[in-house]
Structure 1
Amino acid sequence: MNRRRTPRSASAEDLLSTLQHLTARARQEVELHQARVELAQALQRDMLPATLPSFPGLRTAARYAPARDGLDIGGDWYDGFLLPDGALGLAIGDVQGHDVEAAAFMGQIRIAMRAIAGSTSDPGEVMGRTNDLIMSMNSTLFATCSFLRLDPESRELRSARAGHVASVWATADGRSGVTADAGGLPLGIEPHQHYPVARRDLDVTGSFVLLTDGVVEGPSLTIDDGLDRIRRLVSSHAVADAEELADQVLEAAVLTGHEDDAAVLVLRHEATLGPG
């Protein structure tokens, strides 16, 4: 008759060996995750512009803050650059995801948009051609974005929006609002998209603020309520220094309780602009 062998109890040495093995694996995973975080941080830091262009009568300022726990980074971005004809190009966006891939994808969009904006003066075409280029990359990611073109002589601001959150504005004479411009699909969803162009004149002293949804949306705050809160803040600081206003808007983002990263881009304009 065969007797069933009684399972051997794990010895203290066995348990210690298993614990050491699991600890080593956990340490490797933590180190790998930390390496990815540091790489994403480096990409984010290097790809965001160190400075933004300004004109007499126009000052720009921007802020970026990672997610609250400091680990999610790489999704939001902003950009500002001079165009060959002397106009100012501005962009702000939010890439799906927060990791190395998102940071790299953000960089691709930024580079593509800069290159395309140098060959056409139509913001809608800039957005459409950027979208088609992204679609040709066969990426699984997508991004929301707003692109603006400001002519310093005519003071005309033209913009196109790809699924991105609205902007906020306020003027020194007490008016303020949230833009209600029509937009198209986020970049990277469908090819051959049309992006309507909105036009406005910056002929009154005030501020125009672009932002990402991490600034205005949170677990207990709807995006509409968040935008209205920022509108009131911008209205009360419409003639403030651009740097000061950017700080104020980013600080307000903390009140959303968000876990997302956040970006802010401020245009502080006088009634009269001029070429730099």
Structure 2
Amino acid sequence: MKTTAALPPSSPPAAAGVGALLREWRDRRRISQLELALRADSSARHISFIETGRSRPSQEMVLRLAEHLDVPVRERNALLIAAGYAPTYPETPLDDPSMEALRSGIQRLLTGYEPFPALVVDGTYNVQAANRGITALLEGVDESLLQPPLNAMRITMHPGGLAPRIRNYLEWRGHLLDQMERQLALLRSAPLRTLYEEVSGYPLPEGGRESAAAGDHAPFALPMLLEHHGTVLSFISTITTFNTPMDVTVSELAVETLLPADPETAAHLRTLTQL
């Protein structure tokens, strides 16, 4: 068991910032000090000292606690900085030469999903890559929304985007906003907050959209019902992230796939992409 001695009373509190942040994460995860101590091979007393600023955690301890609290990678760097250490996880631009293998792998993955639509977004839903299935669905979207950087939330919820063609728009909009709210509860991301405030303020498409009847739903998940060339397509969305990422950029990438919820949608997609 590894512990750090408390500072003498005359010394200023050590790393009080990181202690408060760790306590906040522990409260979010609804884990007691004792439970966290057992998971991290420490003691409840030491955890208490860290949280109150009476003890400065080592870099190893900060990372160990962050792992057991399932803290996002970007926020782990924030914990390290608050404790007086340098960030451990780099944030490498996706277009950096060192990311070539990752970019190639992502593109092969997206191509493999065709004719089904699939795309990769970053932590603020900017589209980093997409396949032909996505391109086919964007016909008719306002050109201003298709200028880089493309943003999946804007394209979906903007009145000039896909919103007017989503048959169950009210439900789908609610699902997307809930998803963003869950992320905001975990990340101190000003850009994501700004995006949320923007898209949540969009007016409903002209005439609005009624929610689809419950009987129209796939039994296992909420579908997105999208009108395309007079045909209503039904999609189930799946999201995949990278396991054990060691880079902030990679940790925030997500692959979203729109799988057909019925045979008619699958057949329509094959026709669109001529596969």
Decide which structure has greater helix share. Answer: 2
Structure of greater relative contact order (alpha carbons < 8 Å, 6+ residues apart)? 1
**When the two structures are superposed, what TM-score results if normalisation uses the length of structure 2?**
0.21
**When the two structures are superposed, what TM-score results if normalisation uses the length of structure 1?**
0.21
Decide which structure has greater strand share. Answer: 1
